[in-house]
Amino acid sequence: MAKRRKSFSDQLRAIIADCGMSRNQLCKLAGLDPTQLHRFVHKTGKLTNETIDRLADVLGVQLTAKPIKRK
């Protein structure tokens, strides 16, 4: 059985979990409401593209799209 790839949201959640700073600190640096990030991390809310860009800047990551090879 083929291994299911991680969704973009799951990849971002993993980056947030491994970033080495508290979520409150991350929110302060990115100018986010901690409730918004909490909801995203716990899969009860979504992030806007602008918010994702701000998080990427603070986390020092570049988010890129990569085509999926289909059989």
| pTM of structure | 0.77
Q: What pLDDT shows up at residue 1? A: 55
Looking at the structure, give the CATH architecture of the domain made up of residues 8-59: Orthogonal Bundle (1.10)
37 neighbors 23 (Cβ within 8 angstroms): yes
Could you state, in order of their start, the residue ranges of all structural domains in the chain?
A: 8-59
1 neighbors 23 (Cβ within 8 angstroms): no
* 5-59 pLDDT, tens digit each: 778 888 888 998 999 999 999 999 999 999 999 999 898 999 999 999 999 999 9
Q: What pLDDT shows up at residue 7? A: 82
